[in-house]
Amino acid sequence: MKVNGVHYRSIWYDNELAKVRIIDQRWLPHDFRIVELETLNDFAVSIRDMWVRGAPLIGATAAYGIAISMENDASDDGLQNAYDVLMKTRPTAVNLRWSLDRVKMELSEIPYEKRAEEALKLAHYVAEEDVGINKRIGEFGLEIVKNIAATKPSGEPVRLLTHCNAGWPATVDWGTATSPMYHAHEAGIPIHVWVDETRPRNQGAMTAWELESHGISNTYITDNAGGHLMQHGMVDMVIVGTDRTTAQGDVCNKIGTYLKALAAHDNNIPFYVALPSPTIDWRITDGVNGIPIEERSEREVTHIQGRTTGDGIGEVKVTPEGVPSSNPAFDVTPNRLVTGLITERGISAASQEALAEMFPDMLEG
Ligand code: MRU
């Protein structure tokens, strides 16, 4: 999508430099910095420390990480080592495993001397595929937005609420939850987006930034405001992304998503999840008990980063000295609270039967 009128993806291969480049998201929305990832360690750090983030982008970055590491050591041991190093970076988004398994399996079957070249092609393929998936999610999601718009007086915006950033920076392009927003905007359907701040890391600021860059009307709200807005008829639908969705449609997304789903359910507001199929973990059924939840550092809770008055980027501490903090990064929304899963193949009910019917070719053994 565009930044100051220039089209960017969140990760790309620069053919002239023969290097992978990313937007370093640690500084968004305050500063737009592009960096190169050159070693396996660079890739691992970039995922672990959230220079890149969002389930689909984590998957694509891991694929490029294997590709670059194959340039140095394309042996079976080198492949396994790259796989292990990258797999350890973040535990919840299943796209990481999906991408690493896929690339490793394909590379294992070809001779060492061809691996570097093939791995790069595979990484390009994973990235392109993500773009196509997200575009289709947008097309299907657009139909939902259109249907809601049809129930409103002409010109009144459809009001969507979203949590975290499931936008284009979290994917290779388009975003998942934002793709229907971009499609609706392009189709001339008026929309307004309530953007949850999403403490502790405030990924909502990135969502507000990307929507604003595309001229989409939005309002940044505290994480606690959504229930109130829903009670007062100010939200028409909730749409969020997912880091791992189970075979029965339980959805694991950024911490706080579950509370939004509860509030939506209590107020009869549709709660949709934009779900690319690589984010489905067919091995797990019960999300609450089966999905590993990443526990991140206390510092993300005790401190907040933002633009300082001196025009720099700085941190302030918000908690008193010595008080312990806890930082579970994701939570699970059970399928009963999910109105529908917007996938690249269409909209599925959040149930084992419906998902199996939509993706019969992907079911585990
Ligand atoms: O911790 P993050 O910023 O990687 O978490 C991102 C999310 O929770 C997104 O909603 C999810 O990955 C879907 S991205 C299209």
121 with 30, same domain: the answer is yes
Report pLDDT for 90: 98
Which residue's CA is the nearest one to ligand 1's atom 6? 54
120 with 6, same domain: the answer is yes
Average pLDDT of the segment spanning 24-38: 97
The rounded Å distance from CA 176 to ligand 1 centre is: 10
Structural domain including 45 reads: 2-129
Share the mean pLDDT of the chain: 97
Is the pLDDT at 73 greater than 80, yes or no?
Answer: yes
Is the pLDDT at 241 greater than 80, yes or no?
Answer: yes
Report pLDDT for 221: 98
Report pLDDT for 214: 96
Report pLDDT for 31: 95
Alpha-helix runs per DSSP H in the chain: 40-48, 55-72, 76-87, 95-108, 112-150, 179-186, 204-213, 226-231, 257-266, 287-290, 299-302, 352-358
178 lines ligand 1 (CB under 6 A): no
Report pLDDT for 364: 66
Average pLDDT of the segment spanning 42-64: 98
Q: How far apart are CA 9 and CA 127, in angstroms?
A: 10
The rounded Å distance from CA 185 to ligand 1 centre is: 23
Report pLDDT for 123: 98
**Per residue in 130-140, pLDDT tens?**
999 999 999 99
100 with 148, same domain: the answer is no
165 with 76, same domain: the answer is no
Average pLDDT of the segment spanning 41-69: 98
52 lines ligand 1 (CB under 6 A): no
207 lines ligand 1 (CB under 6 A): no
Angle (CA) 123 168 182, round 5°: 130
Per-residue pLDDT band at 158 (split at 50, 70, 90):
very high
92 with 154, same domain: the answer is no
**Per residue in 185-225, pLDDT tens?**
999 999 999 999 999 999 999 999 999 999 999 999 999 99
User: What is the domain-level CATH number for residue 121?
Assistant: 1.20.120.420
Ligand 1 atom nearest the C-alpha of 58 is 4
11 with 125, same domain: the answer is yes
Give the CA distances from residue 127 to residues 62, 95, 132, 220, 231, in Å, rounded to whole numbers and listed in that order.
11, 12, 9, 30, 40
Give the CA distances from residue 264 to residues 2, 55, 239, in Å, rounded to whole numbers and listed in that order.
32, 24, 11
Report pLDDT for 311: 81
Tokens in use for 285?
Answer: 């059924």
Average pLDDT of the segment spanning 26-46: 97
The rounded Å distance from CA 164 to ligand 1 centre is: 7
333 with 210, same domain: the answer is yes
Report pLDDT for 266: 98
Which residue's CA is the nearest one to ligand 1's atom 15? 166
| Domain end among 109, 129, 149 | 129
User: What is the domain-level CATH number for residue 159?
Assistant: 3.40.50.10470
274 with 344, same domain: the answer is yes
Report pLDDT for 187: 98
Average pLDDT of the segment spanning 220-239: 98
214 with 112, same domain: the answer is no
Per-residue pLDDT band at 59 (split at 50, 70, 90):
very high
| Domain end among 129, 155, 177 | 129
Per-residue pLDDT band at 228 (split at 50, 70, 90):
very high
90 with 234, same domain: the answer is no
220 with 348, same domain: the answer is yes
Q: How far apart are CA 238 and CA 225, in angstroms?
A: 13
Mutate to test the pocket of ligand 1, among 254, 260, 291, 301 (most ligand atoms within 8 A of CB): 254
- Answer yes or no: are the C-beta atoms of 291 and 252 closer than 8 Å: yes
203 lines ligand 1 (CB under 6 A): yes
196 with 301, same domain: the answer is yes
Bigger pLDDT: 309 or 289? 289
Average pLDDT of the segment spanning 156-175: 98
Residues with a known catalytic role: 243
Query: Count of domains in the chain?
Result: 2
Is the pLDDT at 365 greater than 60, yes or no?
Answer: no
Average pLDDT of the segment spanning 39-55: 98
